[in-house]
Amino acid sequence: MGTMAVTPPEAVTVRVPAKVNLDLRVGPRRPDGYHDLATVLQAVSLYDEVSVARWDDWQVVPSGSYAALIPTDDSNLALRAARLLADRFQITEALSVRIDKDIPVAGGMAGGSADAAATLLACDQLWGLGLEREDLLLLAAELGSDAPFPLLGGTAIGTGRGEQLAPALARGRVHWVFAISDTGLSTPSVYAECDRLRDDAPAPQVGAQLMTALRAGDPKALGAALHNDLEPAVFSLRPGLRELRDAGVEFGALGAVVSGSGPTVAFVTDSREAALDLSVSLAASDLSRDLRRAKGPVHGAQVVAVPRPD
Ligand code: C5P
């Protein structure tokens, strides 16, 4: 067979999912300021799309539902991801990074990290670097504890800072309702509040009941086993969220939990209809104005479009 000339793509678009923590156990604060975690993560069907294209200068172009909340300076994690890769591979050209944002910002659903993960994958394709998934996971971990998981997707157990991942055996699908807050919470401030509220913490370990529920594909047992050690800290900073969580359970959710460092509250149901009913009840209660439905688990980051010049 002859070899075909490969023309490098002009632009690459990657679609990347949000995450929810089904379980988040937080160990003591380490000397480096991080906390040892044991967490169970699930990718859910709320997506950002990140497109990278060659450009005269580095730039971030925000679009989508939460465009106004995306930083366009050097603090943008997607921009940092592209520059990290350029640095590592001595690439001198600049890129335009368009972020079409549908994942809530600063909500505990790893939106910024998802964009960083998507950018790594998109740049790998654009620049033809041929990186293995393992390489991408290691690069992602340099950008943030939550950045590797969106590359993997599905349901996974995270240890270390949360960045060391192992796929979890999970059957079936669940239907989520997410109550999004108007204003986000900063992750470091939530961890600091967690440390302030408690004296000591045991070595973190994910709940056995949750793992059994996932293996069995039992949404009711899964709902009952949702857990987050950061919840007391999030409720201390945002007391109204406790009421929101309790209302969702009263309205028929099989379980409720703050996702990651919040303030998004996640409710689990076993069908599309149940999720729709629940979001209608929550909307009527006036406890949350921005409600989103999604299913999980879903695949990790995927290339969706690679337009090539004719
Ligand atoms: O890794 P990342 O940069 O996303 O972490 C942001 C902040 O969240 C850290 O600076 C730290 O304050 C807190 N964090 C933590 N323990 C972890 C992950 C994050 O204390 N395992």
pLDDT in tens, 186-234: 999 999 999 999 988 999 999 999 999 999 999 999 999 999 999 999 9
Domain count, the chain: 2
- Judged against a pLDDT cut of 70, whether residue 134 lies above it is answered with yes
Query: Are both 56 and 179 inside the same structural domain?
Result: no
Q: Pick the closest to residue 257 from 248, 269, 245 (CA basis).
A: 245
Query: Are both 56 and 110 inside the same structural domain?
Result: yes
- Judged against a pLDDT cut of 50, whether residue 1 lies above it is answered with no
- Residues recognised as catalytic: 19, 146
Q: Pick the closest to residue 137 from 123, 122, 150 (CA basis).
A: 150
Query: Are both 163 and 16 inside the same structural domain?
Result: yes
Residue nearest to atom 8 of ligand 1 (CA): 188
The parent domain of residue 257 ranges over: 174-296
Return the ligand 1 atom nearest residue 162 CA.
21
**What is the per-residue pLDDT for 200?**
86
Domain boundary among 126, 146, 167: 167
| Residue 5 within any structural domain of the chain | no
Question: Do the beta carbons of residue 209 and residue 224 sit within 8 Å?
Answer: yes
- C-alpha–C-alpha distance, residues 257 and 310, integer Å: 50
How many angstroms does the Cα of residue 190 sit away from the middle of ligand 1? Answer: 10
**What is the per-residue pLDDT for 182?**
86
**What is the per-residue pLDDT for 307?**
64
Report pLDDT digits (tens) over 291-302: 999 999 999 999
Query: Are both 134 and 184 inside the same structural domain?
Result: no
Return the ligand 1 atom nearest residue 160 CA.
21
Task: Verify whether ligand 1 is closer than 6 Å to residue 144 (CB atom).
Answer: yes
Return the ligand 1 atom nearest residue 29 CA.
20
How many angstroms does the Cα of residue 116 sit away from the middle of ligand 1? Answer: 16
Question: Do the beta carbons of residue 130 and residue 87 sit within 8 Å?
Answer: no
What is the arithmetic mean of pLDDT over 247-266? Answer: 97
Query: Are both 123 and 228 inside the same structural domain?
Result: no
Residue nearest to atom 14 of ligand 1 (CA): 34
- C-alpha–C-alpha distance, residues 150 and 144, integer Å: 12
Query: Are both 181 and 211 inside the same structural domain?
Result: yes
- CATH number, domain with residue 69: 3.30.230.10
Query: Are both 121 and 199 inside the same structural domain?
Result: no
Query: Are both 16 and 157 inside the same structural domain?
Result: yes
| Residue 87 within any structural domain of the chain | yes
Query: Are both 122 and 214 inside the same structural domain?
Result: no
